[in-house]
Amino acid sequence: MSVWDTLFSEELRRTEARGHLRALSGASLAPHGRIRRNDREFIDFSSNDYLGLSQHPALIARASEWSVRMGTGAGASRLVTGTSDAHLALEKKIAAFKQTESALLFATGWQANAAVLPALLKALPEAAVFTDKLIHNSLHHGCAAAGVRQIRFRHNDYDHLEKLLEERGANTSARMIITESVFSMDGDVADLERLSAIAKAHDAFLLVDEAHATGVLGPGGAGLSAALPDGVDLVMGTFSKAMGSFGAYVAGSERLCAYLINTCGGFIYSTAPPPAVLGAIDAALDIVPGMESERTKLASLGTRLRDGLAGLGIHTGASSTQIVPAIIGEPRDALRVSESLAQRGLLATAIRPPTVPANTSRLRLALRATHEPADIDQLVAAIAECL
């Protein structure tokens, strides 16, 4: 072991002592809301493939076709030679889907958030940045990279946000508000109409992360911001969840996108997304607006699960979407229930602090339109047995 490995081992031992050590294990998504892991098949309540599109023949076909036609790599970053006609056409299609003037592709959602915030905040020096307490790690990373100290408002508490805007935002040169539209660990939604009104009243820039809403909520599955044209200044989202493949977008005004093309390091210095990824996204954008029956089914599976858990006396917080937290409380209890469910052929990951607040360790249950009501009933019955 090198001297470096000794240092890594010491840190890993400390992580293990806190009960937080993690390791990777192989799995592969299967049809009907199933997943295979260690040669066993489970009903999967842990993946974000909400519409089951990762296994859809149309996405697979177009990803393959575009690879055969254009190759496996874009060859360079976007401003050099990496922009193909397919990139430009796809960005137009994303903007039409999101009902914005323009859109840009990014390699991943994490990269988009981490890179866009420092670029934006360069144009808003000394801005006061107001963030929902539960925003994603990538948004924290973006704020840190921009060197700003977040002013955090209580989760979805807009009275608190307004109070902070008045106290801390009045004498600053600019203000920015950052939230998600569907929260990844709680499955509850932001009130974008109210947020947009608050942002306008306080001259604040509003940035919304639609990672878990894209494909699932809003008109034609275009996310909650699509119901509010001009209500949100910058929307980002990912193609890696309900959209079934990979990559991400940032959507907003033409001037905003032109600014990012000229200033955003994560866009400028990263190789353009490859044809297979573009093909899968293109096919998903053709199909998703018409998947209204899948979205209706997904919503009713969510209601069925929340009702079932309520019958067991388990709290699901303010969840109203395809993400349903079964709040257990103590980390070791959540882990024990998750392990007993796995023995029964059900995969439901336990989420513990620091990812969620103390005493709210939970199973994060993520539903798929390819689940059946019987799968939900089986899950609720198994949770009842495990408690």
370 in contact with ligand PLP (CB under 6 A): no
Rounded Cα distance between 331 and 362, Å, is 8
Residue 212 annotated as catalytic: yes
Closer to ligand PLP by CB, 139 or 380: give it. Answer: 139
Choose the binding region for ligand PLP from 56-64, 204-212, 253-261, 294-302 (rule: CB under 6 A): 204-212
Residue 155 annotated as catalytic: no
Q: Of these residues, 56, 241, 297, 371, which one is catalytic?
A: 241
CB count in 10 Å sphere of residue 134: 18
Is the distance from CB of 139 to CB of 131 less than 8 angstroms?
A: yes
Choose the binding region for ligand PLP from 39-47, 109-117, 283-291, 359-367 (rule: CB under 6 A): 109-117
Residue 293 annotated as catalytic: no
Closer to ligand PLP by CB, 49 or 375: give it. Answer: 49
Residue 138 annotated as catalytic: no
375 in contact with ligand PLP (CB under 6 A): no
Q: Of these residues, 113, 184, 319, 320, which one is catalytic?
A: 184
Closer to ligand PLP by CB, 108 or 383: give it. Answer: 108
Edge-to-edge, what's the strand order for the sheet holding 361-366? Answer: 323-329, 361-366, 350-351
* Burial of 117 (C-beta count, 10 Å sphere; 0-12/13-18/19+): buried
132 in contact with ligand PLP (CB under 6 A): no
Residue 184 annotated as catalytic: yes
Residue 137 annotated as catalytic: no
Bridge partners (DSSP) listed for residue 250: 104, 236
223 in contact with ligand PLP (CB under 6 A): no
Sole binder of ligand PLP in the list 110, 153, 158, 249 (CB under 6 A): 110
Is the distance from CB of 67 to CB of 279 less than 8 angstroms?
A: yes
Rounded Cα distance between 276 and 68, Å, is 9
Choose the binding region for ligand PLP from 64-72, 90-98, 107-115, 352-360 (rule: CB under 6 A): 107-115
> In this structure, is the dihedral angle defined by the CA atoms of residues 252, 255, 257 and 259, taken in order, positive or negative?
negative
Bridge partners (DSSP) listed for residue 177: 130, 206
Give the DSSP letter of residue 46: S
User: Within positions 226 to 245, which residues make up the interface with ligand PLP, using CB under 6 A?
Assistant: 238, 240
209 in contact with ligand PLP (CB under 6 A): yes
**At a CB cut-off of 8 Å and minimum separation 6, what does 274 contact?**
67, 71, 72, 73, 74
Using CB under 6 A as the criterion, what x/- string covers residues 246-285 for binding ligand PLP? --x-------------------------------------
Query: Torsion-angle region of residue 341: left (phi > 0), alpha (psi -120 to 50) or beta?
Result: alpha
Q: Of these residues, 180, 186, 188, 210, which one is catalytic?
A: 180
Of 59, 37, 39, 8, nearest to 278 by C-alpha is 59
184 in contact with ligand PLP (CB under 6 A): yes
Choose the binding region for ligand PLP from 87-95, 205-213, 223-231, 369-377 (rule: CB under 6 A): 205-213
Is the distance from CB of 260 to CB of 91 less than 8 angstroms?
A: no
Residues that bind ligand PLP (CB under 6 A): 108-110, 113, 136, 138, 180, 184, 209, 211-212, 238, 240, 248
Active site residues: 48, 136, 180, 184, 209, 212, 241
